[in-house]
Structure 1
C-alpha cells in the first residue's frame, strides 16, 4: 500500500492510499480450466487421480527412464515446482539428465510444460500430485537427485509437519533416492535455511555445501545461480538473500 499526502489550501491534509497488486500471478477460473484442458494434450504432463496413486496403479513407477525418457540418464525431481521454470531451466542446461517437476497445482506448471513442448525439450516432464505421495510415483532407488525450490517455510510451530525438510519428509525422500542421491534446498527464507541446517546437523545427515547468500558469496554451484524463477527475480530486486543447501540423507 502507498500513501499520498496533499496539503490543501485551508491547511487541512488529505490522505489518499493506493493498494498495489502483490507479486503473484493469480489465474482466473476460466484460465485454470483452459490450462487444465491443455495439460491433457501435453505428452509431458501426467495427472493421475489420488486413488490411482495411493493404489500404486501409476504405470510409470519404477519405469520413468525405461518407459518415458527412453534412456538411463540420472533422474532429478523438483518438488513444488510452481511454474516449472527451474525444471525447464535445468533440463535445458543439462540435456543428459531427466527432470520431473511435481506440484499439486497443474495450472501453474502449465507454463513450464508448454514451454518444454514448444521448444522440443524431451528430458523434462510434470506430474500433478501431492508431495506426500511421491513414494507411490517413484520406486525405491529410482531417483538420483531432488530439488526443493522456494518452499513455503511454514514458520508457525503447528505447521512444522508441512515443512518440506522435516524429518518425515527426509525419510520419504530417502525411500526413492539412490544410495548416493542428494537433496538441494534453495530458498529466500532465512528461517527455512537455519531450520534445515539445524535439523541436518542434529540428525547426523551429511551437509555437502551450504551458502546463506549465493549471489554474494563465491563458490555457489553453477546450477544454483545460472537462472532465476519469476519469484526469485523479485526477491533479488529487493536485495533479499537467496540461500542454498546441498545434502545427503544418512543411511
Structure 2
C-alpha cells in the first residue's frame, strides 16, 4: 500500500465514529476513559466480543452482521488496514461494530475485569522462533491478560493456518489445565466446527486455501 493511500486512510479513520484511537501513554497510565464503560460507546448492555489483530476486520464485520445482539470490537495497531472494515461497517449501518487502534499487549488496560464475553484471535503471526515466544498471542502472559478481562465462562477462539500455532496452543492449554471445548486440525475437511468458523473468511484465509493449506480452529475457556 502506498504512503499516500495510508495517509488518506489515517485521515478518514479520524472522522469515523466507530474508530477509537487512544494515546498509548494515556492507556499505560490507566486513564483510558472507555475501560469498564464500553457500554456507553455502544449505548447498550449487550455482550462484548473482541477480534484481536483484526487486520481488515472481516470477522468483526461478519460477526456483527450475524449477531446484532452482541457488540464487536476489532483491535489492531495498523489503522490503515482495519480502515476497510470500519468503512464497511459504517456503510452498512452496523452500530454494533467498532475498531480500536492499539497494541494487543495493552488489552487489560483497555478493558476492565469481566467486561468481555468472547475473544477471537484470527490468523495471528505464529512467531515460530523461540526468541519470539513472548509475542505469540496465546502465550501464558497473553492468556493471563485474557483471563482478567473475560467474564466467567467466556470463550476464546483461535483460527489459524499455522499447525505450529495450533499445536503450541493446545499443548499450553492442556498443561495449564484449561478447558478445550473443541479443536479441529482442518475445519473444511472435518465436520463439527461452529458456523461462524466456516461462514466467515479473511483475506489471508482465502489465500491460504488457494494454496491448499488446512485451516485449524480451537475454542477454549478458563475454568
- TM-score norm. by structure 1 comes to 0.88
Runs of 4+ with deviation above 2 angstroms: none
2:34 corresponds to: 60
2:17 corresponds to: 43
Residue 136 of structure 1 and its aligned partner are, at CA, apart by 1.1
Give the aligned CA root-mean-square deviation in angstroms.
Answer: 0.7
1:184 corresponds to: 157
TM-superposition CA deviations, 1:49-86 (whole Å, max 9, x none)? 11111112211111112x11111211100000001111
1:106 corresponds to: 79
> How many residues matched?
223
Residues of 2 paired with 1:34 and 1:57: CA distance? 29
Name which of 195, 202, 218 aligns with 1:229: 202
TM-superposition CA deviations, 1:88-122 (whole Å, max 9, x none)? 01101111110000001100000000000111110
Listed as ranges, the gaps of 5+ residues in structure 1 are 1-26
Whether 1:174 and 2:125 are equivalent positions in the alignment is: no
Higher-Rg member (1/2): 1
Is the 8 Å Cα contact of residues 72 and 97 (structure 2) preserved in structure 1?
yes
Residue 30 of structure 1 and its aligned partner are, at CA, apart by 1.0
Name which of 70, 81, 91 aligns with 2:43: 70
Residues of 2 paired with 1:30 and 1:49: CA distance? 23
2:180 corresponds to: 207
The aligned runs of 1:80-119 (5 Å cut-off) are: 80-119=53-92
- TM-score norm. by structure 2 comes to 0.98
Q: Which of structures 1 and 2 has the larger relative contact order (alpha carbons within 8 angstroms, sep 6+)?
A: 2
Listed as ranges, the gaps of 5+ residues in structure 2 are none
Whether 1:157 and 2:130 are equivalent positions in the alignment is: yes
